Structure 1
Amino acid sequence: MQAIRSSLRARAAVASVRSFSTTPSNSIARIIVTGRLAAEPEITATSTGQDVIKYVVGTSYGPRDNRQTSWFRVASFQPEGPGRDHLLSLPKGTLVYVEGDASMRVYEDAEGKKTSSLNIVQRTLEVLKRPHTASESGSEGTQ
């Protein structure tokens, strides 16, 4: 009898864990990438006509003589406004912090070979450091 009560209490505790939430308990994969923009972000349209901003973030790791770089493709569905304009104005080499939702897609390429890709949809983006330009470095010595 005691074992049955314990089992019922454990089930009730598990059931009440999400009782405060009105959203369904879905699995989600989040990713954080800190790196530099490989190029300026570009705006394109999806097949349904929705605008999407795409950009690539490069991260490097390892010792200087054997440095490895990973490239992460990111999509952002920013509505028109200051946030979108800010993202589109970022130059190549900008150090960014990106949080996004990650998913894996498996597909067949043109040669019929199965290929997988990591898809990242931006949730937040923070600019950590802008790259130095030639005009900035030349003006520092004249002041």
Structure 2
Amino acid sequence: MSAFTSLRPSLGLARTAAQASRGFSSSASRSVARMIITGRLAAEPELQATASGQDVLRYAVGTSYGSKDNRQTSWFRVASFLPEGAQRDFIMSLPKGTLVYLEGDASMRTYEDADGKKHSALNIVQRSLEVLSRPPPTEEQ
């Protein structure tokens, strides 16, 4: 029992030192909501310009769950601010129905429409995107 008692004070100091070191960060403190979505592209991604002239790649990903008789689908709108280059061109070339794995930062936005009705929207900004499988070719392609 004396060995246990002699270790206790040193454990307390170690715990205090660990807590103190966790409190330091060189980056600003902020909350982050990260989402991971595995689903299919609703349509081919589109390149649009923002009001400030910055290019934004927009697309939607659909996820489904439930049995065939009671299938539910959720749609997620995604924005990507990739610069011109191979990555952006690759994403723009993906056809509707491509199965993707997406990681992104999420935020909620509330707004009022022209009729005064309040709406909420989930905004997702792409961090990374991986293609899991492409849809089978159709006769049109």
Q: In the TM superposition, what is the alpha-carbon distance from 1:69 to its structure 2 partner? A: 0.3
Amino acid of the structure 2 residue aligned with 1:124: S
Q: Does residue 25 of the first structure (1) align with residue 29 of the second (2)?
A: yes
**TM-score calculated relative to the size of structure 2:** 0.84
* 1:61 corresponds to: 65
Structure 2 distance, partners of 1:43, 1:103, is: 21
Counterpart of 2:19 in structure 1 is 14
- Could you tell me how far 1:134 is from its partner in structure 2? 2.6
- Structure 1 pair 11–109 and aligned structure 2 pair: CA distance change class (3 A): farther
TM-score where L is the length of structure 1: 0.83
- Matching residue of 1:118: 122
RMSD: 1.8
* Unpaired segments ≥5 residues, structure 1: 1-7, 136-143
| Counterpart-to-counterpart distance in 2, 1:42 and 1:18 | 42
Does residue 93 in structure 1 map to residue 97 in structure 2?
A: yes
Q: Distance in 2 between matches of 1:110 and 1:34?
A: 34
CA distance in 2, matches of 1:12, 1:115: 47
CA distance in 2, matches of 1:55, 1:48: 20
Q: Deviations over 1:47-88 (max 9, x none)?
A: 100000000000000111000000000000010110010000
Which amino acid in the other structure matches residue 87 of structure 1? I
Kindly tell me the number of residue pairs found equivalent between the two proteins.
Answer: 128
SS in 1 for 2:132: strand
SS for the counterpart of 1:14 is helix
Asked if 1:129 is matched to 2:133, the reply is yes
Q: Is residue 109 of structure 2 the alignment partner of residue 105 of structure 1? A: yes
Matched residues in 1 for 2:26 and 2:36: separation? 26
Runs of 5+ consecutive residues of structure 2 not aligned to the other structure: 1-12
CA distance in 2, matches of 1:11, 1:73: 44
- Secondary structure of the 2:19 match is helix
